[in-house]
Amino acid sequence: MSSLIKSKKRSDALGEVFTPQWLVDEMLDKLPQEVFTDPEKTFIDPACGDGNFLVRVLERKIQNGSTPLQALQTTYGVDIMEDNIQTCRRRLLREVTGNKKQINVEDFRPHAKALKSNIKCANTLEQNLEDIFTGQE
Ligand SMILES: C[S@@+](CC[C@H](N)C(=O)[O-])C[C@H]1O[C@@H](n2cnc3c(N)ncnc32)[C@H](O)[C@@H]1O
């Protein structure tokens, strides 16, 4: 199992403790399942870390019939730490490229665009979500 904290300094300063996968699954099981079966339902983690919830949400949406692009376009995350956001975007992209060694970048341009606009580095205590997601990077 990967570590649930990156450093004591970060966990003290930011409350950065990642949720283990078993607990993520247990929590997602408690949600109304149309979150995953209705391709138009959106999900946001306003303190997403490196994406433990978002990766599982994306997987569940795709397993329940959303296209990978629909799933990405309805999945949102914000974190104050840029390194978490970069890792989160990478993990989500890996879910949709299926871990292939070589991909045709053109095929995944819309997916990369969705990731850039929906997974954002910002302070959710100081900015409202609408500003975060309509602002330009
Ligand atoms: C308890 S961790 C949870 C991470 C992830 N949701 C998970 O369950 O694995 C809290 C996260 O909130 C982020 N964070 C702390 N203050 C924040 C703020 N003001 N705005 C956005 N993110 C913040 C931290 O960087 C950290 O990744």
- Per-residue pLDDT tens listing for the chain (137 residues): 468 999 999 999 999 999 999 999 999 999 999 999 999 999 999 999 999 999 999 999 999 999 999 999 999 999 999 999 999 999 999 999 987 778 888 889 999 999 999 999 999 999 999 999 997 65
pLDDT of residue 136: 60
Q: What percentage of the chain reaches a pLDDT higher than 70? A: 97
Nearest CA to ligand 1 atom 24: 16
Q: What distance in angstroms lies between residue 95's CA and the mean position of ligand 1's atoms? A: 21
Nearest CA to ligand 1 atom 10: 16
What distances in angstroms separate CA 132 from CA 38, 111, 123, one per listed residue? 25, 19, 9
Q: Which tokens hold the place of 12?
A: 């003290």
Helices (H), 45-105: 52-63, 68-73, 82-97
- Ligand 1 pocket by C-beta < 6 Å: which residues? 14-19, 45, 47-49, 52-53, 78-81, 84, 123-125
Nearest alpha carbon to residue 79 among 113, 54, 114: 54
Q: Is 104 left (phi over 0), alpha (psi -120 to 50) or beta?
A: beta
pLDDT of residue 60: 98
pLDDT of residue 2: 67
Q: Is 51 left (phi over 0), alpha (psi -120 to 50) or beta?
A: left
pLDDT of residue 99: 72
Nearest CA to ligand 1 atom 13: 47
